[in-house]
A and B are shown apart, each in its own frame.
Chain A
Amino acid sequence: MPNTKNFNLVHLIEAVGDGEDLIRMLEIFVDSTPKILNELNNSHTDGNFEGIAASAHKLKATIDILRIEELQGVVREMDRLSSVQENQDKLPQFISKINDVMTQVLAEIKDTYLSDNKV
């Protein structure tokens, strides 16, 4: 399986193998992630720090499993800052970064793994 610069499936393949279950897991990722990003953006617009922390918290495990190294530090810092409601000026930068990278990862996964499976 090829790797891209944004993610690495080694850990996921180790957990579920590289067959149908991998595709099913990636489909779940592709289906659920936009919703989480949407919740994150809405919370940010509303100034809802609890909501930002909850979304960051939810993304943390996924980012780790898919080895999205560029976001591993970002998501943790965002989780921390939104929980303690400090340095709020940094949050837009973090949220923007997460949106950008995750959007790229979603596109790459769709192209690489799901193009034949998706209708």
Chain B
Amino acid sequence: MQPFTIFIVEDDPFYGEMLKYHVSLNPDYVVEKFETGKEFLNNLYKNPSVVSLDYSLPDMSGLEVLKKVLEYKSDLPVIIVSGQEDVSTAVNLLKHGAYDYFVKDDDTKDRIWNALKNIREKFELEKQIDVLQTEIGKKYKFGNSIKGNSQAIKKVFALIDKAIQTNITVSVSGETGTGKELVAKAIHYNSPRNKYPFIAINVSAIPKELIESELFGYEKGAFTGADTRKIGKFEEAGKGTIFLDEIGEMDINMQSKLLRVLQEKELTRIGGHNLIKTEARLIVATNRNLEEEVELGNFRQDLYYRLLGLPIILPPLRNRNNDILVLAKFFADEFCKENNLPFKHLSENAQEKLLSYSFPGNVRELKAIIELAVVMSNNTSIDDEDISFTTRNNQSQFLLDEENTLQGYTRKIIRAYLEKYDNNIIKVSKKLDIGKSTIYRMLKNKEL
């Protein structure tokens, strides 16, 4: 455990010793005393938890030392202890980032005692937050949260890695259940923004009349019922990440307001006049084809280009080959562990059954199927009869999920085959019994 170290900087040996004695009464504190600014600064590398600093030192002023300390570590609490009873000096030091300012009098030692207690409590809470953030970070590390070895998912890993290294806006697309939010979380918790909040909003779940107040907040009295000021999600995210799921469902009027916020990097609460800077990173997701939505006039083209950033397209599970088995094993093990059940393996028949299914609900559906299979299984093996699918097992149902034109269906079928066969045009043309040139032409015309 990291010790709670207090540095006392005091040139009066008598007063310094008295402070040291008093603070050392807490056996959990490690206390070191210095009589000059220079001696103290030379020991700053030891990373004290708190500094008690005398304002008047023989070689440097308290302000000079304070500035150097905060240059070294901006969040290091520095308590100024001074014989100086001048209010303007105190105000100036507090403005420059001192944690507190105490005049040397009979109560100083008690004030320091209380300040140290408060700082230590905060210190412990911050450590707990660090531990929790590390845990969350581990949970959302690629290998821990997104499982798979297929080429398709490896491409996704490579893009996530690129997204982590920059602040680029990321647009995640993929069918329902492919893990769009998981990707957003993996980017956030593995990026330098992981100390700040991850705020997820499902745009389709919020009535269009409320989305603006939800995202940007409102001032007191902005409308009937606005009894207090409310901070919006962008402000709440701070320097963190804001994840807008189902962005394709956003009302066209709201789209223009969002575009302005993204361009200006500032927003105004409803009913407010002040411009508020926003530093949050944006990740959006959709299961719609936004390009098509732009063509249909449902989505603003300028916003589409603004949001496109780094596009990450999640492959449907049916195109991830053996990932189905990797994920099935992971979900089975996880479920057994959570429910204190003995670990169960998938029989060969069960594996074949899983591999032959199209998983229209993707990973989410696989998880539900496996959890049920674990419950239904009577021994240490999950057999094919333990596995039951919720939908009919054919591609046509998946294709007919949405109404489309014949041309639209054709494009969708060819796209699905290209994904399935890793863009191997010769193979796809053979499978669908169409000419290679047809596919090339459609690609050239951007029909696919």
Contacts and interface: CB of A to CB of B under 8 A. Distances in A.
A12 B11 CA distance: 19
Given A58-B56, A60-B83, A60-B104, A65 B21 contact: no
Interface string B4-37: 0000000111110110011000000000000000
B12 A61 contact: yes
Nearest to B108: A61
Contacts of B193: none
Nearest to B84: A57
Contacts of B71: none
A32 B21 contact: no
Nearest to A12: B18
A54 interface: yes
A99 interface: no
B220 interface: no
B83 A79 contact: yes
B58 A54 contact: yes
B105 interface: yes
A32 B83 contact: no
A28 B21 CA distance: 13
A119 to B, nearest CB: 20
Given A15-B21, A15-B22, A16-B21, A62 B56 contact: no
Interface string A1-43: 0000000000110011000010011001101110010000000
Contacts of B12: 32, 36, 58, 61-62
Contacts of A12: 18
Contacts of A57: 56, 83-84
A32 B83 CA distance: 18
B80 to A, nearest CB: 14
B109 interface: yes
Contacts of A108: none
Interface in B41-83: 56, 58, 83
B106 interface: yes
A77 interface: no
B13 A25 contact: no
Interface in A38-95: 54, 57-58, 60-62, 64-65, 79
Interface of A: 11-12, 15-16, 21, 24-25, 28-29, 31-33, 36, 54, 57-58, 60-62, 64-65, 79
21 contacts: A12-B18, A15-B18, A15-B109, A16-B21, A28-B13, A28-B14, A28-B17, A32-B13, A33-B14, A36-B12, A57-B83, A57-B84, A58-B12, A58-B56, A61-B12, A61-B83, A61-B104, A62-B14, A62-B15, A65-B14, A79-B83
Which 10 A/B pairs are nearest by Cβ-Cβ distance?
Answer: A32-B13, A61-B15, A61-B104, A60-B83, A58-B12, A29-B14, A57-B56, A62-B14, A57-B83, A28-B17
